[in-house]
Structure 1
Amino acid sequence: MQRWVVVAVLSALSVVAHANEPLPGDIVRDLNGLQSQLADQPRDEVNSDVLNRIIGHARSQSSRLAGGNRADQWASALYHQLAASALVRQGDYVAAADELASARQRPSVPSSQILRWLHDEASLRRAASQRTEAIALYEQWLTQSQGNPRYDESAWRLIRLLAEEERWDDAIEWLSPLLQKGGLTDAQQALTTAVLRSVGQNDEALGWLVDGLTAQSEPDAWRQAAGLAQQMGQASVAAGVWEMAWQLGKFSTTEDLLTLIRLHLAGGTPARAGEHLEASTQEGMLEHDEETLRLLAGAWQQARHVEKALNAWRALAESTQKPEDWRQYGQLAYRWGQDDQAEEAFINAVDLGDDQSKEWLTYFK
């Protein structure tokens, strides 16, 4: 941020020094000399003595010339800008912003230059965490700068500042025109979602999240979209988002896989959950344990795949030897007209001490 601000504040000085009111030769030479001294300072080092001399001289000159004619006023403004550049190099963003504010107030400064300094001051206030001041300056600049190449970038900065201040209604006003242009980055997508959700536009937030997902999107973007869909009760959307992320390799852990399976179960696609369970146990990603077997039995039962469901329930009951699992297997088999399997299951449950299954066995006499 510091390097960017330095470039921004320095960028116009050599150009504007001759662009407005004609300046005396000695003033031009002095301004260019100070700028050269500043430019000669290494970017990664701070020579406080040199910078302090530049700042002191620039401030002295700006003060001396402040009450003169239009050329003097213009020179005074340029000295303020030069002092701001040196102060940025010292990391004093607040003082640098104050210098640009003083430069903007000189009566001979053209409106185009005022706007440039207004934007630079906003950036400095932002760098100094003076959010309230930065917001006001960005709003002022944006209001007067439609069509400027930096408009969209600055608008996004303003929206982020407003979001940090939790001024959601103001943020949505600046955000809405930008959304019509499309082409949001991941960071802009996340900011858009935060603003939309905070003003209660959850459907729109989910739409922007899902529509903005690409193969290049970070895993967190996929998680955020699936999480918001879950919170809104749209389990099928959450399952679809998670499935796509899984296929793209965004998620790869066992916990991610189990989340995918549970989302399919909740989202009305249990057969897909069953397929993932079968594949992952064959590949060794999931253990062939009670949890996996129970998920598999529930998935195929929910999918009403008779053969697979009954086989899964049998495997679960054989593994756990719990009477309630044998009874559940028997009840499901009986419901689906598989009497032989049902009777066998109830007999096993009774042998394990399940009194309820004794009543079920009476149907087979």
Structure 2
Amino acid sequence: MRLSHWSYSVFLSLCLGWSGGHALAAGPALSPDMVQALESLQQRMQDGASQSEIDRAKAAARRLRNGNAANRWARALFLQLAATGEAQRGQDAAAADLFYQARRIDGVDADSRQRWLDQEARLRLRAGQTAQGAELLGEWIERHGGDRDSLWLMAQAQATMHHWSQAAEWVDRARRAGGMDADRRRLAASVYQHAERYDAALELLDAQLESGSDDPQSWRRAAALAQRMQQPGLAAALWEAGWRRGVLQGEDALERLVRLHLAGGTPARAAEYLKKAFENNTLPRDNEHQRLLAEAWTAARAHQKALSAWRTLAEDTQAAKDWRQLGELAYGWGEWSTAIEALRRAREQGADPARTWLLEGVSQLELSNETAAREAFEAARDAGASQAEAWLASLGERLGEKAPDGDSSPDEMTPQAPSGTQ
């Protein structure tokens, strides 16, 4: 993976940044002919090197391999020119190898050696030699302190290698140096997220969103971070803000908004969004979304809306689980007639007869339908409901019937009403 945020034009200006007199003065004195050859070749390569000019620089460097200090210095300068030419032509790995050769020549001054180390490191990063480039760049930064561009480049290199803890440390250092534009803010937030420093990541994303970001990924990332921080309400609020701004759009984004409101403790908002989506045909009113609507109204404890939504779903699916859910909710909320009907429909579709008969018996009893209640409790007993006998005994006492000899006393047989959910 190549590191792309480093400006190639800036890099080339560094490579070409030596003026002939200044560079030549850094080493031993060269002969006038050698100086003229170097300056002539550098001038021709200033606006773009041809392959023949690069080859000429390499050939000159090879001829000077064995010689005195002046020849070694000239060799290093020819290698620098060849490296610059290769970099101009996009041959980053080849250019890095040439800078490596130049900086290892005996007698090269410390400033040139360090400058070529820096340039080799950046070229290796550009060439995808990330581990080697990061090692060299780190060596250069530790010796020179590093400017802010170098620190951000190092953070990106560590992120490219998925070394998230190290990347986060470099981001910290780079942020102290400044120069955090939008791209670097995204890099920092991503690094913090992967390093599980969620507070820091969310802080950066919040600042970006407050500045009016129209990047959907920033809103998505912020909501995801809030969820990871166990703040579902904040995640829903962030997503809603992105939705209202028009940054987050489409069916998937709307469905995510609904689910975030459900998870974030605002189920009524989820239900309202679903209801509007059905009306506008922006989400299909299929079984999945109808069930989601029913669950949202249930979580919001909007009794009538929830029961209506579950009925619509159950009538469409004719599934035992959906009829039973309607019956259980109606029973729990004291909607006895609805409970009786739904429990019967659930039983017809194969739901547990013991529980559905028992709940139906209690519902009938609440409506003062003692005969129907007795029939339901007897059916529940026959189906294996453990509480049915107690309910029958309680019903008999209510009707003034005498318990058979040997049966438990009425106080011992007083049943506990089953809950409306299981």
Alignment correspondent of 1:346: 340
Structure 2 distance, partners of 1:332, 1:91, is 69
- TM-score (ref. length: structure 1): 0.77
- What amino acid maps onto 2:33 in structure 1? D
Matched, 1:271 2:277: no
Q: Deviation at 1:299?
A: 0.9
Deviations 1:34-62 (A, max 9, x none): 123324557xxxx534432232124435x
Change (3 A) 1:230 1:15: farther
Alignment correspondent of 1:28: 35
Alignment correspondent of 2:81: 82
Change (3 A) 1:144 1:311: same
Alignment correspondent of 1:161: 157
Task: Find the residue that maps to 2:247 and give its secondary structure.
Answer: coil
Contact kept, 8 Å, 1:83 with 1:99, in 2: the verdict is yes
Alignment correspondent of 1:227: 224
The structure, 1 or 2, with the larger RCO (C-alpha pairs under 8 Å, 6+ apart) is 1
Change (3 A) 1:136 1:217: farther
Alignment correspondent of 1:118: 117
Q: Deviation at 1:138?
A: 1.0
Contact kept, 8 Å, 2:323 with 2:346, in 1: the verdict is no
Contact kept, 8 Å, 2:148 with 2:177, in 1: the verdict is no
Change (3 A) 1:289 1:15: farther
Q: Comparing 8-17 with 273-282, which one deviates more in the overlay? A: 8-17
Q: How many residues align?
A: 351
Tell me which of 1, 9, 17 is aligned to 1:11. Answer: 17
Alignment correspondent of 1:54: 57
Structure 2 distance, partners of 1:224, 1:93, is 34
Q: Deviation at 1:265?
A: 0.9
Structure 2 distance, partners of 1:183, 1:217, is 21
Tell me which of 280, 283, 287 is aligned to 2:277. Answer: 280
Alignment correspondent of 2:294: 297
Structure 1 distance, partners of 2:61, 2:321, is 87
Q: Comparing 287-296 with 206-215, which one deviates more in the overlay? A: 206-215
Change (3 A) 1:213 1:351: closer
Alignment correspondent of 1:134: 133
- TM-score (ref. length: structure 2): 0.68
Structure 2 distance, partners of 1:8, 1:244, is 45
Task: Find the residue that maps to 2:69 and give its secondary structure.
Answer: coil
- What amino acid maps onto 2:14 in structure 1? A
Alignment correspondent of 1:97: 96
Contact kept, 8 Å, 1:168 with 1:198, in 2: the verdict is yes
Tell me which of 337, 344, 358 is aligned to 2:360. Answer: 358
Alignment correspondent of 2:68: 67
Change (3 A) 1:96 1:309: same
Deviations 1:20-43 (A, max 9, x none): 46765433322221123324557x
Structure 1 distance, partners of 2:21, 2:214, is 41
- What amino acid maps onto 2:15 in structure 1? V
Change (3 A) 1:15 1:270: farther
Change (3 A) 1:99 1:289: closer
Change (3 A) 1:182 1:252: farther
Deviations 1:211-261 (A, max 9, x none): 544643533343334334444544333323332332333332322222221
Change (3 A) 1:95 1:255: closer
Q: Deviation at 1:104?
A: 3.5
Alignment correspondent of 1:260: 257
Alignment correspondent of 2:173: 177
- What amino acid maps onto 1:101 in structure 2? Y
Change (3 A) 1:298 1:119: same
Contact kept, 8 Å, 2:57 with 2:78, in 1: the verdict is no
Q: Deviation at 1:203?
A: 4.5
Q: Deviation at 1:285?
A: 0.6
Contact kept, 8 Å, 1:58 with 1:83, in 2: the verdict is no
Contact kept, 8 Å, 1:13 with 1:81, in 2: the verdict is no
RMSD: 3.7
Deviations 1:161-201 (A, max 9, x none): 23344444443432222244677456544543554455554
Structure 2 distance, partners of 1:174, 1:350, is 66
What residue ranges of structure 1 are gaps of 5+ in the alignment? none
Structure 2 distance, partners of 1:101, 1:23, is 22
- What amino acid maps onto 2:116 in structure 1? W
Structure 2 distance, partners of 1:316, 1:169, is 49
Q: Deviation at 1:300?
A: 1.8
Contact kept, 8 Å, 1:330 with 1:343, in 2: the verdict is no
- Name the larger-Rg structure: 2
Deviations 1:339-362 (A, max 9, x none): 4xx414533653675562632233
Structure 2 distance, partners of 1:153, 1:15, is 28
Deviations 1:42-98 (A, max 9, x none): 7xxxx534432232124435x46x6235xx665444223112123335654444334
